[in-house]
């Protein structure tokens, strides 16, 4: 049977209307469910007074987008983001086990934060370089497997006229009970007596906490450029602050901690170049198996870091440092 062009066009148009209407209904339903999940999460975690959003939309495929997000650090310091997209979400008993967040148009009020915390030297240094706020984009991905007791974190970000970062971290031996305690502490909703009872148990769990991988890259090119520009316009002329700094990393200390001499010298040179000239610095561990983060102490210090110094950490984890 031959179908005329008009009939065929009508059928296609009708199909598009049905599909479009179904997608709109599915999107509306997904948005309502997402709003309930987001609002419920913020209330349960005690964050509903600190984190707010202007609008929310969701896809039937599971992604959520929040517009006009604000995080209240203090009455005069609000971190803002034009949008925060959440995807790759996995929940277990109402708790997030896996998620990927991307914040676009983030704005961190450095000057307001410095006024609220006048003894924070890092904030004061940023303000002295002319940073009244930091603007950029940030992403964070987490994946917690309670069966394997492993946690993977990935984050990256770019900050206009400052630099950026990327990092990957994988930890093993993270007990679900430890996660539950951390969540109660973060929310402020806990019984002090209950917390004291869990302290000894969590301390034993800390000895099973192990680092499997760490890979961090930091870019400070914009910050160093500003430092040089400020020095160049000073009257009378001042010396570049980096020229007065001692070597950030001592190769002798690295060698004493167990790093090979050539690797120690190369690592120290990379850190020195980054501190003086700016640019990228990458630190990546070379572990073949997870390494405990804590060790048993004695007396008033029953638990101690497994690494006695930064040089010890770099040597024991077989880390490589490069520009």
Question: Does residue 152 or residue 90 have the better pLDDT?
Answer: 152
Query: Considering all CA atoms of the chain, what is the largest pairwise distance in Å, rounded to the nearest integer?
Result: 93
The predicted model gives 265-287 an average pLDDT of 94
3-state class of 18 per DSSP? Answer: helix
Question: Does residue 278 or residue 241 have the better pLDDT?
Answer: 278
pLDDT band at 78 (very low <50, low <70, confident <90, very high): very high
Residues in the chain: 323
pLDDT at 113: 93
Domain boundaries, the chain: 1-130, 148-174+209-323
- Give the separation between CA 264 and CA 262, rounded to whole angstroms: 5
- Partners of 64 in the beta sheet? 58, 86
Q: Would you say the C-alpha torsion 50, 100, 152, 90 has a positive or negative sign? A: positive
Q: In this structure, are residues 271 and 322 in contact, taking their beta carbons and an 8 Å threshold?
A: no
CA 130 to chain centre: 24
Counting residues of the chain whose pLDDT is more than 70, the rounded percentage is: 80
pLDDT at 190: 60
Tokens of 127: 């303000």
Least confident of 8-12, 226-230, 284-288: 8-12
The predicted model gives 149-175 an average pLDDT of 95
Tokens of 42: 């913020």
- The answer for 318, left when phi > 0, alpha when psi is -120 to 50, beta otherwise, is left
pLDDT at 19: 44
pLDDT at 49: 85
Q: In this structure, are residues 82 and 105 in contact, taking their beta carbons and an 8 Å threshold?
A: yes
Question: Does residue 180 or residue 254 have the better pLDDT?
Answer: 254
Give which of 102, 100, 169, 176 is closest to 145, Cα–Cα: 176
Q: Kindly tell me if the per-residue pLDDT of 117 is higher than 90.
A: no
Q: Which of 36-40, 88-92, 265-269 is the most confident on average?
A: 265-269
The predicted model gives 93-99 an average pLDDT of 81
302: which residues sit within 8 A by CB, 6+ positions away?
203, 296
Q: Kindly tell me if the per-residue pLDDT of 22 is higher than 60.
A: no
Least confident of 21-25, 150-154, 163-167, 218-222: 21-25
pLDDT at 25: 59
pLDDT at 6: 53
Report pTM: 0.80
The predicted model gives 262-286 an average pLDDT of 94
pLDDT tens digits, residue range 194-204? Answer: 555 555 666 77
Question: Does residue 24 or residue 179 have the better pLDDT?
Answer: 179
């Amino acid at each position: 049977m031959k179908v005329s062009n008009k009939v065929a066009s009508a059928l296609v148009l009708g199909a598009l209307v049905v599909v479009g209407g179904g997608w709109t209904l599915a999107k509306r339903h997904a948005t309502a469910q997402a709003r309930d999940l987001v609002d419920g999460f913020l209330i349960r975690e005690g964050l509903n007074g600190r984190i707010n959003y202007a609008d929310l939309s969701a896809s039937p495929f599971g992604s959520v987008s929040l517009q006009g997000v604000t995080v209240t650090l203090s009455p005069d310091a609000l971190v803002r983001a034009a949008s925060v997209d959440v995807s790759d979400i996995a929940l277990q008993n109402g708790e997030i086990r896996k998620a990927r967040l991307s914040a676009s148009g983030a704005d961190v009020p450095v000057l307001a934060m410095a006024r609220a915390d006048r003894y924070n030297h890092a904030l004061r240094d940023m303000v002295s370089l002319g940073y009244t706020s930091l603007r950029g984009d940030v992403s964070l991905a987490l994946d917690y497997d309670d069966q394997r007791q492993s946690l993977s974190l990935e984050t990256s970000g770019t900050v206009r006229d400052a630099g950026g970062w990327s990092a990957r971290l994988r930890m093993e031996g993270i007990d679900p009970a430890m996660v539950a305690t951390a969540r109660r502490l973060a929310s402020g909703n806990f019984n002090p007596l209950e917390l004291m009872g869990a302290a000894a148990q969590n301390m034993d769990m800390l000895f099973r906490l192990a680092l499997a991988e760490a890979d961090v890259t930091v870019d400070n090119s914009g910050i160093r450029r500003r430092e040089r520009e400020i020095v160049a316009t000073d009257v009378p002329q001042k010396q570049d602050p980096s020229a007065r700094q001692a070597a950030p990393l001592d190769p002798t200390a690295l060698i004493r901690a167990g790093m090979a001499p050539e690797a120690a010298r190369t690592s120290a040179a990379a850190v020195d170049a980054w501190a003086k000239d700016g640019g990228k610095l990458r630190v990546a561990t070379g572990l073949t198996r997870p390494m405990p983060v804590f060790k048993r102490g004695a007396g008033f210090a029953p638990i101690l870091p497994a690494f006695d110094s930064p040089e010890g950490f770099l040597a024991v984890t077989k880390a490589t440092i490069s520009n």
